[in-house]
Amino acid sequence: MNIFITLDYEIYFGENHGTVEKCIIYPTSELIRIAEKHDVRFSFFVDCGFILKLDEFRKKFPVLENDYKAITEQVKYLSDTGHDIQLHIHPHWEDSSYDGKRWIIDVKRYKLADFSENDIADIVVRYKKVLTDITNKPIFTFRAGGWCLQPFSKLKKVFKDNNITVDSSVFRNGYYSSEQYSYDFRNAPDKDIYKFEDDVVIENEKGFFTELPISPIKNSPLFFWTLFLLGRKNPYLHKPLGDGRAMAAPGYRKKLLTKFTNNPVSVDGYNSHLLQTALGILQKKKRNNMVIIGHPKALSRYSIQKIEEFVQNNKEKNNFTTFTKMFGNKV
Ligand SMILES: [Zn+2]
pLDDT score of 163 more than 70: yes
Q: How far is the CA of 12 from the centre of ligand 1 (A)?
A: 9
For the chain, the residue count is 331
Q: How far is the CA of 246 from the centre of ligand 1 (A)?
A: 11
Contact status, residue 113 vs residue 150, Cβ threshold 8 Å: yes
Q: How far is the CA of 200 from the centre of ligand 1 (A)?
A: 18
How does residue 247 score in pLDDT terms, banded at 50, 70 and 90? confident
pLDDT tens string 144-157: 998 999 999 999 99
Torsional class of 326: left (φ above 0), alpha (ψ -120 to 50), beta (otherwise):
alpha
pLDDT tens string 191-240: 999 999 999 999 999 999 999 999 999 999 998 888 888 888 999 999 99
> Is beta strand 194-196 parallel, antiparallel or unpaired with respect to 209-211?
antiparallel
Q: How far is the CA of 324 from the centre of ligand 1 (A)?
A: 20
Q: How far is the CA of 304 from the centre of ligand 1 (A)?
A: 20
Q: How far is the CA of 258 from the centre of ligand 1 (A)?
A: 26
Q: What would you report as the CA-atom Rg of the chain, rounded to the nearest whole angstrom?
A: 19
Q: How far is the CA of 145 from the centre of ligand 1 (A)?
A: 4
Q: How far is the CA of 317 from the centre of ligand 1 (A)?
A: 31
Q: How far is the CA of 271 from the centre of ligand 1 (A)?
A: 17
Q: How far is the CA of 78 from the centre of ligand 1 (A)?
A: 18
Averaged pLDDT score across all residues of the chain: 95
First to last CA, the chain: 23
Q: Is 315 helix (H, G, I), strand (E, B) or coil?
A: coil
> Is beta strand 103-104 parallel, antiparallel or unpaired with respect to 141-144?
unpaired
pLDDT tens string 33-91: 999 999 999 999 999 999 999 999 999 999 999 999 999 999 999 999 999 999 999 99
Give the global pTM: 0.96
Q: Which residues contact 294 (CB under 8 A, 6 or more apart)?
A: 5, 6, 7, 8, 266, 267, 268, 303
Q: How far is the CA of 89 from the centre of ligand 1 (A)?
A: 7
Report the C-alpha gap between 245 and 146 in whole angstroms: 15
- Looking at 86-168, list the stretches that DSSP marks H as alpha helix, in order from N- to C-terminal side: 117-135, 156-161
How does residue 308 score in pLDDT terms, banded at 50, 70 and 90? very high
Report the C-alpha gap between 331 and 329 in whole angstroms: 6
Confidence (pLDDT) at 251 = 82
Q: How far is the CA of 10 from the centre of ligand 1 (A)?
A: 6
Q: How far is the CA of 301 from the centre of ligand 1 (A)?
A: 21
Among 27, 30, 21, smallest CA distance to 70 is for 21
Structure letter (DSSP) for residue 179: S
Instruction: Output 268 or 251, whichever has higher pLDDT.
Output: 268
- Superfamily of domain 2-330 in CATH is Glycoside hydrolase/deacetylase (3.20.20.370)
Q: How far is the CA of 88 from the centre of ligand 1 (A)?
A: 7
Q: How far is the CA of 100 from the centre of ligand 1 (A)?
A: 24
Bridge partners (DSSP) of residue 67 are none
Among 34, 74, 72, smallest CA distance to 308 is for 34
Q: How far is the CA of 9 from the centre of ligand 1 (A)?
A: 7
Q: How far is the CA of 316 from the centre of ligand 1 (A)?
A: 31
Q: How far is the CA of 249 from the centre of ligand 1 (A)?
A: 14
How does residue 331 score in pLDDT terms, banded at 50, 70 and 90? low
Q: How far is the CA of 264 from the centre of ligand 1 (A)?
A: 14
pLDDT score of 6 more than 70: yes
Q: Which residues contact 318 (CB under 8 A, 6 or more apart)?
A: 1, 2, 3, 279
Q: How far is the CA of 79 from the centre of ligand 1 (A)?
A: 19
Report the C-alpha gap between 276 and 282 in whole angstroms: 10
pLDDT tens string 110-120: 999 999 999 99
Domains of the chain, by residue range, sit at 2-330
Question: 63-80 vs 48-57: helix axis angle to the nearest 10?
Answer: 140
Q: How far is the CA of 284 from the centre of ligand 1 (A)?
A: 31
